Structure 1
Amino acid sequence: MKVISEIREISNTLSRLKSSNNTIGLIPTMGALHKGHISLVEKSIAENDITVVSIFVNPTQFDKQEDLTNYPITIEKDLELLEKSGCDFVFTPKANEIYDNNISSQKFLFDGLEQQMEGKHRAGHFDGVGTIVKKFFLITMPNIAYFGEKDFQQLQIIKKLVELEKLDIKIIGCPIHREEDGLAMSSRNTRLTDQQRKDAPFIYKTLKEAQNKIAKHSFTEINSWVSEQFKKHKTLNLEYFEIAEEDTLKTAIKRENNKKYRAFIAVFADKIRLIDNISL
């Protein structure tokens, strides 16, 4: 495994490999890696000749400076995990080079996908995501890029980004990896106190119960039920729960035939924000 921090070196290296008919798989990450990330790496290794993981804590996608400051940095552990996984290259750029000494976001319109859920609560977040993912795509030019479904809205937006920018890259969404108690694996979980970690599986438990209610209850009834469950909870505060169409991410009012729906949730454990979703 080779670790490269300079744009020119990673770009030239991958360009040479690709010219020899090697296929390249890319997994963009912000580090603090866990088994969910490694599952993406393993899928890429199975499907490509070369696997590249980027590690970069992107400043432009944080709407709160506090979250950026507190984001866990575990680079040595990350590199050890990637070495064991069989990863070929790790790209670890510096912010000033990636942003050419101008750390700001490009503005994007993703056909309204960016205005739903996370977009309502995190100003500028998806401009930051679109900006950095576009940069990484142009630098590495992968054949396939892999993203976890925990950030399902982000996954849909990146698919739209590839379409709008006319990039010849296949985007693969991979299933959410969960702890044994159901909590979706996340880098933010490392910041939870013991009590918060004990309480956090309530999020997935609520999603599963909402999923079970679909057969006999309306979306409005399920929304109200979820809200009531969190009003009773002592340590977890509901930011939003929404049932949305998978393709458009628009809030769904009632069930229609031939449409896929997904429930999305964002919850605060004190200042730590956790998100999850489940197919309905």
Structure 2
Amino acid sequence: MIVCETREELKSRIFNWKKENQTIGFAPTMGYLHAGHISLFETSKSKADKTVVSIFVNPTQFNDPEDYLKYPLDLDGDLKKCEEAGVDLVFLPKKETIYPDGNPDFVMFQSGLQKNLCGRTRPNHFEGVMLVVSKLFHLVNPDFAFFGRKDYQQFRIIEEMVRILDFPIQIVGVPTLREKDGLAMSSRNVRLTEKERENANLIPRMFTLAEKLFKNGEKNPKVFHEILADFLLSSSSVKIDYIETVDPHTLQEKLTLDGEVLLAVAVFFGKTRLIDNELLRNFDSENIF
């Protein structure tokens, strides 16, 4: 496995692979890798000749400086996981490599896809995501890029960014991996105390309740949200950031719950914020997840 820290070495490796007509799959990460990340790498290996992974905690996507400073790190463990997964190259840029002139005064914004969900409650987050991902796309020049659908809004925003800017890249959404109790795998899970981790089980249980309500014909979003909020707030240590039901393609609010509905939530357990989502359907159709 090759480990690169500089633009020059990365570009040299990519150039040689492209010269040999090798296709490249790319998974950008912020490290502290878990089985969900490994599924991205495995999907890449099934679709591309070479798999590239970047590990970079991107400062421009954190609207809370404390959250940035507390982001978990385990570089040695990450490199071991990448090697065991058969990754061909890991790009480990320093902040100065990605932002040589400091954080740039440059903003990309998608008013439709950023209107709701984390776009509403985390200002400037997706601007930072689009900035770093577009820079990494230019450096890695991949044929495929892989994103987990747990961060569904991010997946749709990157997918649309690539379409608008004509990046010659196929964006592939990879299904969410979950723990035995149904909690979505996340690098932030490690920050939960034992009690908070126990309470976090409320999220997958809430999705089970939501599916029952949906299949039983509840179409009023307000009633739907209130029932789910009451369920989550059965623990006094839980704070809801949002519960939203949106169209899975446009991410716009659903005025009535029919067809396909993306139920997305962000919940604080102590100081740790977890996001998750589930696709609800009341007709037979191909699952977009």
Short-chain TM bin: over 0.9
Aligned length: 278
Partner residue of 2:28? 28
Letter in 2 for 1:229: F
SS in 1 for 2:132: helix
Aligned-residue offset at 1:117? 1.0
Aligned-residue offset at 1:234? 2.0
Aligned-residue offset at 1:106? 2.8
Aligned-residue offset at 1:111? 4.6
Letter in 2 for 1:91: F
Q: Distance in 1 between matches of 2:15 and 2:208?
A: 45
SS in 2 for 1:266: strand
Determine if contact 2:245/2:262 at 8 Å carries over to the other structure: yes
Letter in 2 for 1:217: E
Aligned-residue offset at 1:105? 5.9
Correspondence 1:207 to 2:213: no
1:231 to 233, 237, 243: 233
SS in 2 for 1:113: coil
Q: Distance in 2 between matches of 1:30 and 1:208?
A: 30
Q: Distance in 1 between matches of 2:105 and 2:180?
A: 38
Determine if contact 1:105/1:131 at 8 Å carries over to the other structure: no
Q: Distance in 2 between matches of 1:139 and 1:54?
A: 11
Aligned-residue offset at 1:109? 2.6
Partner residue of 1:179? 179
Q: Distance in 1 between matches of 2:104 and 2:224?
A: 39
Determine if contact 2:202/2:232 at 8 Å carries over to the other structure: no
Partner residue of 2:218? 217
Aligned-residue offset at 1:115? 1.9
List per-residue Cα deviations over 1:194-234 (Å, max 9, x = no partner). 11111111111102211221122123321110121133222
Percent identity (aligned): 38
SS in 1 for 2:114: helix
Aligned-residue offset at 1:140? 0.5
Q: Distance in 2 between matches of 1:235 and 1:55?
A: 33
Q: Give the TM-score taking structure 2 as reference length.
A: 0.94
Partner residue of 1:87? 87
SS in 1 for 2:87: coil
1:245 to 244, 247, 250: 247
Q: Give the TM-score taking structure 1 as reference length.
A: 0.96
Matches within 5 A, 1:52-71: 52-71=52-71
SS in 1 for 2:155: helix
Letter in 2 for 1:265: V
Matches within 5 A, 1:1-280: 1-104=1-104, 106-215=106-215, 216-218=217-219, 219-256=221-258, 259-280=259-280
Partner residue of 2:284? none
SS in 2 for 1:114: coil
Q: Distance in 1 between matches of 2:29 and 2:97?
A: 17
Aligned-residue offset at 1:142? 0.3
Letter in 2 for 1:211: E
Aligned-residue offset at 1:112? 1.3
Structure 1 residues 166 and 20: alpha-carbon distance in aligned structure 2, compared to 1, 3 A threshold = same
For the aligned residue pairs, the C-alpha RMSD in angstroms reads: 1.2
List per-residue Cα deviations over 1:75-111 (Å, max 9, x = no partner). 0000001111100000000111211132246311325
Q: Distance in 1 between matches of 2:105 and 2:169?
A: 22
SS in 2 for 1:153: helix
Structure 1 residues 211 and 105: alpha-carbon distance in aligned structure 2, compared to 1, 3 A threshold = farther
**Aligned structure 1 segments of 4 or more residues deviating by more than 6 angstroms:** none
Letter in 1 for 2:66: E
Aligned-residue offset at 1:236? 1.6
